[in-house]
Amino acid sequence: MYDKHILIEDSLHSSDGDRTHASVEVRMPYYRGLGLSMVEGVDLVVDGRPIPADATTFTVRGTTYPITGLAEVLDDRWEMGEPARIDFDAATPLGPGEHTVTAVVRLRISYMPVPGGGRDTKTLTLA
Amino acid sequence: MYDKHILIEDSLHSSDGDRTHASVEVRMPYYRGLGLSMVEGVDLVVDGRPIPADATTFTVRGTTYPITGLAEVLDDRWEMGEPARIDFDAATPLGPGEHTVTAVVRLRISYMPVPGGGRDTKTLTLA
Amino acid sequence: MRDISRSGFRDHPSAEMLFVVSAIKRGVSLYSYQEEFFLRTMSLEDCIAHAASIGALGIEVIPEQSMTGHPHIPDDQIAQWRAWMEQYGTTTSATDLFLDTKRHRDRWLSHEEQVASVRSDIDLAVRLGAPVIRAIINTPPEVMRDAAPYARDNGVRLLLEVHAPFHYSHPWILEHLEVMHAEGGVGLGLMPDMGTFVERFPRVVSDRALREGGRKDLVDYIVDLYDDHGDTHALMDIVHYRGGGPVEMGLARQATHFIYRDPAEMLPHMDLIGHVQAKFYEMVDDTTEYSIPYDRIIPVFEQGGFSGYLSSEYEGNRHIEDAFEVDSREEVRRQHAMFATLLGEKPSTDSKA
Amino acid sequence: MRDISRSGFRDHPSAEMLFVVSAIKRGVSLYSYQEEFFLRTMSLEDCIAHAASIGALGIEVIPEQSMTGHPHIPDDQIAQWRAWMEQYGTTTSATDLFLDTKRHRDRWLSHEEQVASVRSDIDLAVRLGAPVIRAIINTPPEVMRDAAPYARDNGVRLLLEVHAPFHYSHPWILEHLEVMHAEGGVGLGLMPDMGTFVERFPRVVSDRALREGGRKDLVDYIVDLYDDHGDTHALMDIVHYRGGGPVEMGLARQATHFIYRDPAEMLPHMDLIGHVQAKFYEMVDDTTEYSIPYDRIIPVFEQGGFSGYLSSEYEGNRHIEDAFEVDSREEVRRQHAMFATLLGEKPSTDSKA
Ligand SMILES: [Mn+2]
Ligand SMILES: [Mn+2]
C-alpha cells in the first residue's frame, strides 16, 4: 500500500559542492505511524548502484539517526505520511539532471508473519 | 529428506598435485531420480568459502556437465541415491586433513510451489 | 422510514411498527480516509467534518494514525480532538490499539510488557473519551484477561476484533470467548469486522490482478471458486498446478484470507458485541456493497438488539490506488446512504423494491 | 478368520458369514523402502522379496525411483522386473507417474507435452504389466481427459491420487470427477491416499519439532488443536501471535497439510476407486497405526465392494531419519499384520478384543 507514494517528487538534493552527498525524502508505506525500532531499513538504489546501509542516515523532525541504528530507537517514531529525509554518500558524484532512484522500506509489523513495507522507483531530478 | 546423506563420507579428493582442484560426491535429497534440467544447482562451501558455480562441474556415469549448464540437459538424469561427482576449483590450495564442506542441492519439483532440495554439512578428510 | 416489504426483519420485536428508528448508530472509522489523510489532501478536521456531514456521528480513531507521539500524545492534540467532537456534534466511538509484540528486533514483548502496552492504550482511550477499544486480533487471550480489570476500573471495554479468516467457532476466538465469559463481559467483548462476511470476491481485488497481467482464466477460476464458496484450502496449489505465476498465486493467497460465514453466527455472542467495524471494498451505488450483504447482516444486529455503532472501514483504497484516484468520501457517503435506508432512517432508494 | 465381535462390518453383504476372506488384496508400494533403497542397504530384489515374504503380493512401483533411465527404461530392467514378479509370486499392482510441468527452467510444459508425458508413462506401465497408474495430484483434469483414450486403448486405467489436503468435495477433485464421469470411468479413476484420514496428529512429526528445539507449549497447542479437529485455517497466524519461531511455524504449516475426513466420503465414488495408497506414519504395534484409523477405513472399502490393493506407503521415514535408524521392513510388516487381521485372514492379535 502507498508504494507509489514512498519517494517524494522534487526531494532529491545534493548537500555539498562536489555532489557526493545527497538526500531524498521518503514516506512510510503503512496506514499508521511506527516506532523507529520497527523500521528494519530504508534501502536506496541510485542509478542502479545500491547505497550501503552504513552510508545512509535517517532524519525525522530534525533528529538524525544512522539507518543501521534504528533498531535501538525506542523513543521516536516515523509518523503516518510523514516525510523522512534519507542522507546518503554516493560512490561517484551525482551529475545534475535526472536520476533513477529506488527506495525499499522494510518494516517489522507485529501482527504479520511476513516482512512488511514496500518499494518505489522514480526518476527524480537533482536540484 | 535425506539431508544428512547428501555428502558422501570419504569422497573428498584432490585431483591434481597442487591441490587447487578437488572433487566431492553428493546424492540428491529426493525419493526419485530427476532429469538434470530440473537440478537448479549444487552449491558448495568449503572451509567457509563459497565456490562459484562457474568453477564447478557435475559428473554422472562418466559424463561431465558445467553446473551452470544443467538447465539445458534434457536427456540425462540424476538417479535416486546415485552419487554425482562435483569437481571444483579451490581459490587456495586445500591442505591435507580435515575440511568443512557444505553442499546445497537445489531442485525444481513440479508439484511443489516452493523450491525443493536440501543441505548437508560434513567434516571430510582430504585423501 | 423503513420499507418493511424488503427488510425481512420479521423476527425483530418492533417489526410491526412502520416508522421505527433503529437503535443501531452510524459511525466512521477514520481508517476509511487514510489515502487522503496520508497525502495531506484531507486534514484530521476534514475527516471528522465529513463523517458528521453524512450523519455518521460516532468517530472511531486509530491514535497512531491520526495523531502523533503515540503513546504519549500531547495534551493539545487531545484537547483539539475533544473540541472538534463538541463542534461537530460527534462522539469518540472507539479507539484502535495495536500490540507491537515485535517492538524489539531481538526478542518478543513479554507478557507483562504486552499487558502494560494495553493499559497504556486504555489510558489513551479514556483521554479521548472512547467507551470501547479495538484490541487487534493478535492480542493473546491471557493479555486480554490480565488487562480486563484495568479496563473495568477505567469504565472502558476491550473488544477483540474478529477479523477474517477468524470466525466465531475458530479455536483462537473460542479461547478468547472463554476468557470473556469468565470475566463477565464487563471489561471485555467482541468487535466483529464485517470482512468475515465476504460473500462475493471483491472485484477491486481481482481487477487489480488483471491490471498486473494476471491470466484471465486463472483469475476467473479463483473468483468463481470463491463465489461458489468452495474449499479454498489448497487453492494456491491448484493455481500452481495450472501454471500460475506470482500474480495469480498472490490472488489465490488473498482468496484464502477472505471468508464468508453466516452472519447469524454472531447472534449467540450479541451481548459481548460492543461495536462493529463495517468493512467494505466497493460501494456499487447508494444501496449495494459489491461483496458484503449488509441487507442480510443488519437484520441480524436488529434481531440481537445491538445498539452500538456500525463504523465504516473503507478497504478498497489499497486495491485501486495503483490506477485510480481514491475518493474515500464518496465511498463512505454511499455506505451511509445504504445504512440509512437499511436502518429505516429514510425511504428505500432501491427502485426494485 | 474375522473376529466379528469387533469388526463392525454390519452393513457388509457377507457379514453373517464367519470365515469370509475379504476380496481386498494386500500390497506394498516400494516407496515404503526408500530409505534403505537410497542407502543401497536393500536392493530392488530385496524390496520385492520382503513384500512377498509378508504376503503383500501386489507391488506398486515408482519407475523413476526403482529403475534408471526413465522414461526409456532399458529392456533388461523390465525383463528382470517381470522375472522377479514370476519368481516371488507377485504382480505389478500399479506404477506411479509424475508430471514434470517445470521440466524447462523458462517455460511451463504445454498441454500437448503434458499429455505426451502421460502417454509415455502409460507405455511404461504396459511394459511393467501394471493395470493401473497413479496420476499425481497436480495432473490437470484436461490432461486426464485427453490421455484417457490412450489408457483405454492400452487396457490400463489412470487413477488420480486423492492426496491431502484435497478430498472428495474439493473443487479440484470435483473437476476431476466431472471428467471421469464424462469418460465413463473406464480409462480414468481415483486412487485414494489414506493421508486424507489423519485423525490424530502424527507424533513422529511433533516429536521431531521438539528435537529441533520447538517450544513445548506451542507444539502441544498445535497437536491438541489438530486432534480436536479444530479449524487449522489460521493456525500459523495463531502460532505467530504467540511468538512462535521457524520450528513452531513449520509445524503449524504441516498441520494445515494434514486433514481428517470421514472415510465414508469415499463410498459414493467406490466404482471409480481402482487402488488404495495405504499411507502410514508409525505402526505402534501389530494392530495400530498411530494416526490413521484403519479399523474404521477398511470396513468402508468392504462395504463398497472394493477388490483392489491396499498398497502400503510408509511415510514415517523422513520424520525420524534425523535421530533414528529407519527400519522400513519392520514398519511394513506391522502394517500388514494389522491388515491381515482387519481383512479376516487370521484371528485378531488384539488382546483387548
Ligand atoms: Mn477491521
Ligand atoms: Mn500417496
pLDDT in tens, C199-226: 999 999 999 999 999 999 999 999 999 9
| Nearest one of C284, C315, C322 to C207, comparing CA atoms | C322
Kindly identify which residue of chain A lies nearest to residue D240, measuring between CA atoms. Answer: A113
Q: How far is A81 from chain D (nearest CA, A)?
A: 27
Distance CA A4, CA D53 (A): 68
Cell for B10? 570419504
Q: What is the pLDDT of residue A25?
A: 97
Q: What is the pLDDT of residue B17?
A: 73
Q: What is the pLDDT of residue C347?
A: 54
Kindly identify which residue of chain D lies nearest to residue B73, measuring between CA atoms. Answer: D104
Q: What's the sign of the alpha-carbon dihedral C168, C172, C177, C180?
A: negative
3-state secondary structure chain B: CCHHHCECCCCCEECCCCCCEEEEEECCCCCCCEEHHHEEEEEEEECCEECCHHHEEEEECCEEEEHHHHHHCCCCEECCCCCEEEEEECCCCCCCEEEEEEEEEEECCCCCCCCEEEEEEEEEEEC
Question: What CATH class does C3-202+261-349 carry?
Answer: alpha beta
Q: What is the pLDDT of residue C350?
A: 47
pLDDT in tens, D62-117: 999 999 999 999 999 999 999 999 999 999 999 999 999 999 999 999 999 999 99
Mean pLDDT score, A17-23: 83
- The one-letter amino acid code at B3 reads D
Residues 6+ apart with CB under 8 A from C175: C141
| Nearest one of C136, C132, C135, C139 to C154, comparing CA atoms | C132
| Nearest one of D66, D322, D42 to B5, comparing CA atoms | D322
Q: Which residue has the cell 470411468?
A: D185
Asked whether residue B125 carries a pLDDT value surpassing 80, the answer given is: yes
Q: How far is C16 from chain D (nearest CA, A)?
A: 41
What are the residue ranges in chain C where pLDDT is below 50? 1-19, 348-353
CA of D279 to the centre of ligand 2 (A): 6
Answer for the pair B7, B26: CB distance below 8 angstroms, yes or no. yes
Q: Which residue has the cell 490437470?
A: D140
pLDDT in tens, C1-24: 334 333 333 344 444 344 457 899
Q: What is the pLDDT of residue D353?
A: 36
Task: Give the strand pairing for D25-29 and D58-61.
Answer: parallel
Distance CA D215, CA D243 (A): 10
Give D27's strand partners: D58, D311
Q: Which chains touch A (3 or more CB pairs under 8 A)?
A: C, D
- Residues of chain C with Cβ-Cβ distance to A31 below 8 Å are 31, 34, 38, 62, 65
CB contact under 8 A, B38 and D103: yes
* C241 inside 8 A of chain B by CB: yes
Most D CBs within 10 A among C215, C233, C240, C241, hence the mutation to make, goes to C233
pLDDT in tens, D118-155: 999 999 999 999 999 999 999 999 999 999 999 999 99
CB contact under 8 A, C170 and D243: no
**pLDDT grade for D346, boundaries at 50, 70 and 90:** low
Q: How many Cα atoms within 13 Å fall on the side-chain side of residue C48?
A: 21
Of A31, A82, A111, Cβ closest to residue C34: A31
* A111 inside 8 A of chain D by CB: yes
**pLDDT grade for A18, boundaries at 50, 70 and 90:** confident
Answer for the pair A92, A20: CB distance below 8 angstroms, yes or no. yes
Q: What is the pLDDT of residue C308?
A: 97
pLDDT in tens, D177-216: 999 999 999 999 999 999 999 999 999 999 999 999 999 9
Q: What is the pLDDT of residue C233?
A: 83
pLDDT in tens, D275-310: 999 999 999 999 999 999 999 999 999 999 999 999
Q: What is the DSSP letter of D339?
A: H
Q: What is the pLDDT of residue A75?
A: 96
| Nearest one of D123, D122, D129, D62 to D90, comparing CA atoms | D129
CA of D313 to the centre of ligand 2 (A): 7
Q: What is the pLDDT of residue A127?
A: 73
- Domain assignments of chain D as residue spans, ordered by start: 3-202+261-349
Q: How far is A92 from chain C (nearest CA, A)?
A: 33
Q: What is the pLDDT of residue A91?
A: 80
Chain A segment 50-89 residues within 8 A of C by beta carbon are: 71, 74, 77, 79-82
| Nearest one of B33, C94, C54, A57 to D66, comparing CA atoms | B33
Percentage of chain D modeled with pLDDT above 90: 88
| Whole-number average pLDDT of chain D | 92
Q: Which chains touch D (3 or more CB pairs under 8 A)?
A: A, B, C
Q: What is the pLDDT of residue C18?
A: 42
Q: What is the pLDDT of residue D5?
A: 37
CA of D315 to the centre of ligand 2 (A): 9
Asked whether residue D349 carries a pLDDT value surpassing 50, the answer given is: no
CB contact under 8 A, D236 and A111: no
Domains and CATH numbers, chain B: 3-126 (2.60.40)
Q: What is the pLDDT of residue D292?
A: 98
Q: Write down how long chain B is.
A: 127
